[in-house]
Structure formats: structure tokens, C-alpha cells
Amino acid sequence: MKHLNRRKFVGTTAGLSLMTVVNGAQKSFALPANGADALKNMPLGIIKSANDPDVDLAKVRELGFGTCQLSVGDYSKDHAQRVKTALRKYTLEPTCLICMGPGKYIWNFYEGPSTIGLVPREYRTERVVRLKEGIEFCKEAGISAVLAHFGFIPENPNDVLYGEFIDVMKVVAGYAGDREIEVRFETGQETPVTLLRAIEDIGTDNLGVNYDTANLILYGKANPVDGLDVVGRYVRSLHAKDGLYPTDPKELGHETPIGEGAVDFPNVIRKLKALNFTGHITIEREISGPKKIEDILKAKRYLEELIRTV
């Protein structure tokens, strides 16, 4: 069958029914829940700062979402209680706290390995402190997981930095486990095989993956459909994001609105169902302004239809 151009996707049942048969995928995966049950199994949300919880979280509801991933600048107990109160007020389910920094993060292939996450020695100590603050915040605010980019995990398991990373992650994961908080890896900087190795070498039972569909493409690390074969059993949540593979060896690929990039969302959703995934799907759009809201709402309609029908 002729491959469907994702740039021409439309949020209609007719258009989506064509997309769900690309590459004969119906023969490859089981099709568990459809319709309303599927939407309950894969609720949609957005990423939202909660620096002014009552105002910020009201906007999540205004856009028609019931879940969200949060970021904050204040990790105090008082602020955690304000966030918890606002979440209850707007009946929102928090899926993760995105906990990053301190220090600079440079999102490219040359400076990224020395600035992102816990792999670089220069920032490691202070970022472990920040992650512990985030874990305590999660416990206080009623958020079940902390999420971060942990860095360009070395592909070579014999690399000294790999061993150091595993050791420091055991500390972070143990601290979180003692407080019944899950630690989730944001995909992107490493191949799925390297991520799988790291999770199993760390070895605690509170590790999961926040599977970013676009990051695997933007970093040129994997096809997001195929990557689920490797780490799918650890996927607890998903960033619905789209993008294009890098063509400049110094820079990441470019993010696009959902449906205009290289992510095969029909087969991603289909494979998640085959894995009996029952987690949250969080729409991510890394631009600002009115176009961001427009793209998010368009993606919401598109993903809801996909979840119901594939």
C-alpha cells in the first residue's frame, strides 16, 4: 500500500482509518481497547509550569485536559501544598514533576554531552541535590514520579562515565524508592538499547521511561515505533511530540507540529496498545505564543481519534 504522507493528515475518522493500515501494521499488532475505554487507558494531558498554581493549573482545565506534567521553580513544602490544593480544585491528575538543573543545558551534539543531566561531572553533585528536592516535592504534592533528561548515557558500558552514572543513579533511585516515588528517564540522548542497559544495571524497581516520540528522531537515535520493542515494557508515560531527523551533524533535528514530522503516530499508538500500556500521553509543543495552543488543540483532536480507532 502506498505510504500516507503525514503532512497531509486530517483529524477525521476517514483520514485516520487510512493511516492505520500503513505497512500492513494490522497484521503485526493486537488491537486491545478501542473507543471510550481506550481514551480512559491513555488520558491526554499537557506540560505546564505551576509557579502560580491556581492560575496556571486553571489553564490546563480550560484547554480540556485532565492530566498534566508539571515544572516548578520553588521546591518548598509550602509551594508543594499550594500545587496540591490547586490540583484538587481543578480535579487534575499530575503525572510527573519535570525536575532539571541547576546549571546550563545546551541542546546540541557538541556541547550537550558535557552539559545535560547527571553524566557530566561538573554539574552532577548539585543536580543530585535538585533531584532530591524534586522527589521531596513530589511526596508533599502527591505526584507519583519525577522526570528528567539524565544526559548522553555512554553507549560503551565500559566507559568510566557510564559506571559513574549508574552509581549516582542508584543513589537517586534509592532515595526516591524510600519515598515511594518513581524515577522516569526522558528518552532522547541515548539509544533504546543503552537506556535498557542502564535501567537494568541500576536495578531498582521504581524506574520507568517517559517515552518522547520526537526526541528519538531529533537526536537520530531510533525510530520511535521500533524503539518500543526494546524499552516498551518500561514505558510509563509518553510525550506526544513530532519532528524530523537531523541533517546537520552538529545540531538536533527540528521539532514540528504533530502530524508534520517523521513520527508514525498510528503505529506508535497501536504498539502501545499491544503492550497493554495504560499510562498518560502528554502533548509537548516547544514553541510559545498563540500557535502553540492551536497546535496543542489540533494534536488533541488527532490523538483522541487515533486512540479511539486504531
Within a domain: residue 10?
A: no
> In the chain, how many domains are there?
1
Determine the Cα–Cα distance for residues 14 and 277; give it in Å rounded to an integer.
25
Within a domain: residue 205?
A: yes
Within a domain: residue 201?
A: yes
Kindly indicate the confidence band of residue 32, based on its pLDDT and cuts at 50, 70 and 90. Answer: low
pLDDT for residue 4? 37
pLDDT digits (tens, 9 = 90+) for 177-232: 999 999 999 999 999 999 999 999 999 999 999 999 999 999 999 999 999 999 99
Higher-scoring residue by pLDDT: 104, 30: 104
pTM (2 decimals)? Answer: 0.87
Kindly indicate the confidence band of residue 9, based on its pLDDT and cuts at 50, 70 and 90. Answer: very low
Q: Read off the C-alpha cell for 114.
A: 558535557
- Report the relative pairing of strands 280-283 and 44-49 from DSSP bridges: parallel
Q: Check pLDDT > 70 for residue 11.
A: no
CA-based nearest residue to 190, from 220, 168, 165 = 220
Mean pLDDT of the chain: 90
Within a domain: residue 247?
A: yes
Kindly indicate the confidence band of residue 14, based on its pLDDT and cuts at 50, 70 and 90. Answer: very low
Within a domain: residue 73?
A: yes
pLDDT for residue 38? 78
pLDDT for residue 169? 98
- For residues 22-43, b (16+ Cβ closer than 10 Å) or e, as one string? beebeeebeebbeeeebeebbb
Q: Check pLDDT > 90 for residue 306.
A: yes
Determine the Cα–Cα distance for residues 284 and 296; give it in Å rounded to an integer.
8
Structural domain containing residue 120: 31-309
Which residues have C-beta within 8 Å of that of residue 53, sequence separation ≥ 6? 79, 82, 83, 85, 86, 87
Higher-scoring residue by pLDDT: 25, 62: 62
pLDDT for residue 288? 84
pLDDT for residue 289? 84
Within a domain: residue 56?
A: yes
Lowest average pLDDT, out of 11-15, 47-51, 160-164, 266-270, goes to: 11-15
pLDDT digits (tens, 9 = 90+) for 222-278: 999 999 999 999 999 999 999 999 999 999 999 999 999 999 999 999 999 999 999
Within a domain: residue 121?
A: yes
pLDDT for residue 226? 97
Within a domain: residue 128?
A: yes
pLDDT digits (tens, 9 = 90+) for 93-138: 999 999 999 999 999 999 999 999 999 999 999 999 999 999 999 9
CATH number at residue 171: 3.20.20.150
